[in-house]
Amino acid sequence: MTALSLALLMALASQPSMRPCEGERLALIPFDTVAVARAEARRTEEAVRRAVARTENTCLEPRQRTVEGLRAQGNPLSPCLNAACRTAQVKHFGAQWLVRGRVLGLGGARSVALVLVGPDGQEHRSAFTLPEEEAGTEQAATQAFASLWEGRLPAQPQGVVVETRRRRSAWPKVMLGAGAAALVAGVGFGLAARATENRLSEGTGGCTGEGEALRSCFADGLRKGKQQSRLANGLMGAGAVLGAGGALLFVWELP
């Protein structure tokens, strides 16, 4: 009996504390990533999680419990187009507030987009740029979430509908415009490369003279055609990436 009692006490001691929550309960969904390594996104998520956990009068759900709820709901979290759907998601995780995030690595900089979903299904958004030094990530996350948490709207009486207008970021339009410009330039270089190829395959490619001078001129034409082809491929690839990133951000910002 002594050994059994000791084993039971050790098992109970290893369980997390079940103290009742004395504040508002939040659940933080594992972050999505765009052009960022999963391990780096996880470190950023943990920094934000620590910042949320330190917020006064709040109780953050353990990550494992949130992951289990996510698997039960369907992984990944399905997008919602209305407040009723978002309210149901918040209740599914047994929380009053839901925190979603996405780590972005586009444009040569790393940033984090945060979304705070309230019990009424309304969304509050914020974003911050990650510092170059990883040691400053937690401080940046603390400041960003504190601003987001303090700026949330107070709870409204039941039956009252509050319409909020969310200012859209200019990044989706900028990225889509840059992507379109890159695609157009890529097409232009592709046509130029094709024209150079046709001139060289059908004759001397505009070269005159003979001997070494003709061969040198012809080699320069080939080199120019290859450069045009590489530029066309690079620009079209960049245009596709920028266009996809802009479309993704546009969908992310949908209400």
The full set of domain ranges for the chain reads 21-151, 211-245
CA–CA dist 62, 16 (Å, integer): 10
Average pLDDT over residues 28-53: 93
CA–CA dist 70, 93 (Å, integer): 8
Tokens at 113, concatenated? 């987009």
Q: For residue 242, is pLDDT > 80?
A: no
CB 196 within 8 A of CB 221: yes
Q: How far, in Å, are 2, 27, 79, 109, 159 from residue 45 at the CA level?
A: 44, 13, 20, 17, 35
Per-residue pLDDT tens digits for 169-190: 676 777 777 778 877 877 777 7
pLDDT at 253: 61
CB 45 within 8 A of CB 83: no
Q: For residue 39, is pLDDT > 50?
A: yes
Average pLDDT over residues 136-162: 76
Closest CA to 164 of 128, 102, 129, 116: 116
CB 107 within 8 A of CB 169: no
End-to-end Cα, the chain, rounded Å: 60
Tokens 């319409």, located at residue: 163
Residue 191 Cα to chain centre, angstroms: 35
Give 21-151's CATH code, choosing from 3.40.50.360, 1.10.510.10, 3.40.50.10070, 1.10.3720.10: 3.40.50.10070
Task: Report, in angstroms and rounded to the nearest whole number, the Rg of the chain calculated over CA atoms.
Answer: 28
Q: For residue 161, is pLDDT > 60?
A: no
pTM metric for this prediction: 0.55
Residue 5 Cα to chain centre, angstroms: 50
Per-residue pLDDT tens digits for 69-80: 988 877 778 888
Asked which of 56-65, 85-94, 166-175, 196-205 is least confident by mean pLDDT, the reply is: 196-205
